[in-house]
Structures are given as C-alpha cells and as structure tokens.
Amino acid sequence: MVSSGGSGADGGTTSDGVPDGGGPPDGAPSAVAVAPPGTSGPLVALVEPDYASWGQRFVAVILDNAILAGVTWLALGPEFGVPTLTPGWGSTAQDAARGGGPLVLVPVAALAVLLVLQATTGWTPGKLVTGIRVVREDEHRPAGLGKTLARWVLHFLDAILLIGYLRPAWHAKRQTFADSIVRTVVLREVPDLPRRPRIVLYSAAVVTCVLGLGYGYVPISSGSAADVGDDSPLCEVATPEPALVAGEIRPAGSVSINRDRRLWTVRETRTTHPGAVLTWTSDTSARDTDYRVELDARPGDGEAVAISRSWDIGTSDAGSWTDDEEFTHTRTIGADGDTHDVQVDITDPAADRDLATLDDQPWIDVRLLADGELLAECGGTVTYTEAPRD
C-alpha cells in the first residue's frame, strides 16, 4: 500500500482512508484524553463536573425549608420551631418537637421524607426546581442514607459563623465543610425523563414549593384581647392589720386572640393570661408599707403549678401611679385611710409557652403580702371560654 494525500506529518491518510498518525482533519473538534493511572486501557476523557453555584444552593435551601415551615404551621401553629435541612440555620427537629402533642411528629416526618428523597435520588422539591442534585463526589450517584444523615449532622459545623454555608461561593468544588468530610458534591443536574413524566414531576415540585412559601413565609396576622373574670369567685377579706382593714380579691385575667392567615387557612390562637383584681383600704399609719402580690396558676384538672408570678406594688406614695405591661396600682389618699386598686395580668411574651399548658378553666391562687407577711389570699376557677371572639 502506498499512502496518498501527503505525509503522516501533514495529516495524510493511507489508501484505506485510515489516519496515518497525523493530527485531526481541519475543523474537527479537539478533545483531551488520558489513560487511567497505572493502566494501559482505553483513553478516558477528563470532563470537569458542572458544580452548582452558591446562589442555586441558597434558593434550594429557602424552598425546602419553606416546605417544612408550611407543614409545621399547618400542624402546630406559628409558635413552634421549624425543622430544617440546614441545622444551625433555623430550628432543629428537636426544637420543633417541644410541646404540641402527637402532632409534633408531622414536621419531623416531613423532614425525614426530604432527607430520604435526597438520599435515594439526590433531589428534593427545592433542588429539583433549581436544577441541582446532591451526589457522591467519586461516583456521581445518590449519596445514600448514611452519608445524607452524616452530612445533615455535620451542617452544624457549617453553621459556625455561617462560614461553612458560605464556603461554596469560593471553593473549587463548591463544597461546604460537611460536603468535604462525607465526600459529596452538588451538581447542576436534572432527571433524564420522557417529556410527560418530566412535566408531571416538575409541576408537583413547583406546586409543593409555592405552597410551602405561602404557608411558611407569608403570614397575615391580626389580634385582639378581652378581659375575663367578672363571674369568678370574689373573696372578701378583713384583718386587724393597718395595712389591710378590709377589701376584696378576685382571680381574673385576660385572653389574647391571635389570628394568623396564610393562603386559604386561618389559625386562631387563644392564650390565657391569668391575673387578679384587688381592692382594699389601709390605715393612714400604713403609708410606708411595701405591698406585694403573688399569683399561681395551674390547669383546672391538675395539681402542678404551670406558672407563678409576683409583683412588687411598693408603697405607692400619695397620689402616685405605676403602670407597666403587667400591673397597675392606684392609691387614693383619704383622711381616714387610703384606698388601693390593683390589677395584675401575666402578659409577658416569654411566658407564652408556660401559658399554653393552661386550659380554659385554670385554678388561680392570689396572695397579698405586706412587708413580706401574708395579709390575705383567694383562690378559684376562672373561665376563659366566654371571652368574645371578635
């Protein structure tokens, strides 16, 4: 055989049309290929993985956590913590499980479903919508349940000053610390499906994310409050002490009503605020007496005290008025003695979790002390169910 069309150095061919060892023909695409280390097998092309951007990962986190927030709100209400796929950036499953009864399992189950989806397919609804996938670094297949759970726990390391969560913005492989430890990467990748199943899958993911955003992050709230206790037990008291000549103590309080609307659903949360109304007269010789009111509240069918509070009413010198978010004290000076009007109410937002353990008919104990000594006390059941629902 005699070659034609030029020498091998010039890219010629043999008479059979086979390249004679020269470079590719003009205009042909070039590729870089190497043999695997330590082998003499066929050449393998080195293709740089298409890593997901930090922005894509951030949007996916927002969408997935919105789903968990929406499920939590529907099951438990707005006062409970929301589990998250990114621990340290939001609540944990343990936070969400504090109180709420058996329904706390609903958001925890939703978190488990998302973790299993990510473990077995690499996608969650948020990742599917943004076109990214969590896979093993070496094989580019789903990470599996073990690596997925380890990655979720190790995100607590990423949460330290949020450095780990920001790391994909500059890391060569766009990895968080958790990704590097368990050897996972996040790639731009979508399911390879026929047209109709792909449309169904993406439609379901988009609808799920939109509902999550609506129920999880877009509240429209309103609130009101109503005083109660007009029909509660009234204790008439009288003592030989100049600090309390005669008076009345009535367990009372108020109900705050919060309405939280999200999409087509309205949740109404009624919070019981135990309190009391006290009126008494004191002798003119007791104007330096330091008064204090104490209150204990417990569920109507329970013995354990759910919440206790005390208020330093003070001496309230002539004509003075004290007013804060939990009590008022008016002292009217008279020639024959002074009249005291006191109203106390537990409205501290920090107490809402304890107040949530009270039912609609809690038992309230009220005590009036003067210079640390008990003057009078009164206890009874207060009904909060009749508060108006305006």
Residue % of the chain over a pLDDT of 70: 79
Give the predicted TM-score (pTM) of the model. Answer: 0.67
Q: Phi, psi (5° rounding) for residue 282?
A: -135, 155
Which one has a higher pLDDT value, 164 or 231? 164
Q: How far is CA 24 from CA 1, 10, 27, 115, in A?
A: 22, 10, 8, 49
Task: Supply the pLDDT for residue 143.
Answer: 96
Segment among 158-167, 284-293, 302-311, 365-374 with least mean pLDDT:
302-311
- State the Cα–Cα distance between residues 305 and 294, nearest whole angstrom: 13
Over residues 256-267, the mean pLDDT reads: 88
List CB contacts of 334: < 8 A, sequence separation 6 or more.
Answer: none
Q: What is the pLDDT of residues 73-101, one digit of tens each?
A: 999 887 777 888 888 765 554 555 455 57
For residue 23, pLDDT beyond 50: no
Task: Supply the pLDDT for residue 65.
Answer: 96
Q: What is the DSSP string of 356-375?
A: TT--SS-EEEEEEEETTEEE
Q: What is the pLDDT of residues 189-232, one digit of tens each?
A: 999 999 999 999 999 999 999 999 999 998 887 777 777 766 77
For residue 288, pLDDT beyond 70: yes
For residue 26, pLDDT beyond 80: no
For residue 32, pLDDT beyond 50: no
Q: What is the pLDDT of residues 106-154, one digit of tens each?
A: 999 999 999 999 999 999 999 999 999 999 999 999 999 999 999 999 9
Over residues 280-308, the mean pLDDT reads: 88
Task: Supply the pLDDT for residue 199.
Answer: 96
Segment among 50-54, 234-238, 314-318, 349-353 with least mean pLDDT:
314-318
Q: Where are the domains of the chain?
A: 54-217, 221-351+358-381
Over residues 9-31, the mean pLDDT reads: 46
- State the Cα–Cα distance between residues 294 and 258, nearest whole angstrom: 27
Q: What is the DSSP string of 195-237?
A: HHHHHHHHHHHHHHHHHHHHHHH--EEEEEEEEE-TTS--EEE
Which of 353, 339, 358 minimizes the C-alpha distance to 254? 358
Task: Supply the pLDDT for residue 29.
Answer: 42
CB atoms within 10 A of CB 155: 21
Pairing of strands 321-323, 327-332: antiparallel
